[in-house]
Structure 1
Amino acid sequence: MRNIVKNFANLIFLLLIIPVFLLYRIIKFFTKSEKTFHGFSQLVSLFPGTLGEYVRKSFYYLALKKCSLDCCISFGVIITDSESEINSGVYIGTYCTLGKVSIGQDTLLGSNVDIINGANQHYIERIDIPIREQGGEFPKVYIGEDCWIGNGSLIMENIEKKCVIGAKSVVTKPIEAYSIAMGHPARIVKKRLDV
């Protein structure tokens, strides 16, 4: 019965969000700017409670490269790239900021987790040109299935499946599958297979 109610709510909110999505597409068509996506991401981040969760996942279902309707995207979450992917069973805590990312099935992100696209987002080699004009690299960050990323973590590299990342950790290097990592920078302290 609960699944029937959830599916019905998903359908209702998908229908309700279509005008917002169409407005987003029209503005994006005329502006040819990714900033349009940023603005709508900020807008949908502001709806509180359970209704807000339905608003966000319905909008992202239509606007992202991939977004399951079986996920939870909490209040204050901002996604900055429409190429992002959110799989089923994903939970994203409050006030997370996500760059270009692919989040595997059943992964949990605590509150205030930031995922940015690597250490080379901004080139800094030239001092005669402002940093903002030097370009950069924005590779997609991959987070495997069934991971748990603790509150306040900063993720800059890929995390393979079934990892646990301690709260306030800063991931600057790829993390192998089944690892428990923590710290600044994050280091593997144990393997989940050894527990």
Structure 2
Amino acid sequence: MIIIKIWYHIWAIVKKFFYKIIYRKKIEIAKNVTWRRDFSIMVGKNGKLQIEKDCFFNNGCTIGVNKSVVIEKGSIFGENVKIYDHNHKFADITKSIKSQGYSNGMVRIGQHCWIGSNVCILKNADIGNNCVIGAGCVISGKIEDNTIVRANNQYILETLKQ
């Protein structure tokens, strides 16, 4: 088991190096950020991705950036979390959806959040500090600090104990 963990950490360092070469100033990944297999990042022409220190991404996480995604320190992500700061435009029925481009926004995930497995975070999501987002949620708006969100999208307004 320890050999597998070491392998994932080494592979994350190598992949981080290649992401920095490919995306240059469009991407900032701080120290102690790591991920497991099938982690992917896509940063568009005008995009900017910032991942602060001590973040962890489990298997199958994806980040798609056309404008801005900021992930603050100490946040952790379950398997298959998807983060997108953009949506396809689809208002013109005379054109294919593919040809209409994107509607861009921003995403911010606060400090020390736990994002559960299979969560989808969409444009204009602003998740406060110390939040827990339950497995399977779709998030696209403001979530206040110290909030738990369950899969049926009910907000539980309780302060998380430290």
Q: TM-score, normalised on structure 2?
A: 0.80
Q: Which residue of 1 aligns with 2:19?
A: 60
Partner of 1:21: none
- Alpha-carbon separation, structure 1, partners of 2:58 and 2:157: 25
**Structure 2 spans left out of the alignment, 5+ residues:** 1-6
The 2-side partners of 1:69 and 1:57 are apart by 10
* Aligned residue pairs, count: 145
Tell me, in whole angstroms, the C-alpha distance in 2 between the residues paired with 1:94 and 1:193. 26
Does residue 188 in structure 1 map to residue 147 in structure 2? no
- Residue 96 (1) aligns with residue 96 (2): no
Larger strand percent: 2
Instruction: Summarize deviations over 1:145-185 as a string: whole Å, max 9, x none.
Output: 1100001111112211110001111113221111000224x
- State the Cα distance separating 1:57 from its structure 2 match: 2.6
Amino acid aligned to 1:187: Q
Tell me the equivalent position of 2:77. 109
Alignment correspondent of 2:104 = 138
Which is bigger in relative contact order (C-alpha 8 A, separation at least 6)? Answer: 2
Counterparts in 2 of 1:194 and 1:110: CA distance versus 1, 3 Å: closer
Instruction: Determine which of 108, 126, 129 is the counterpart of 1:158.
Output: 126
Deviation at 1:194, TM superposition (A): 7.5
* Stretches of structure 1 lacking an aligned partner (at least 5 in a row): 1-47
* 1:78 counterpart (25, 40, 64): 40
- State TM-score, norm by structure 1: 0.67
Cα RMSD for the two superposed structures: 2.0
CA distance in 2, matches of 1:140, 1:75: 26
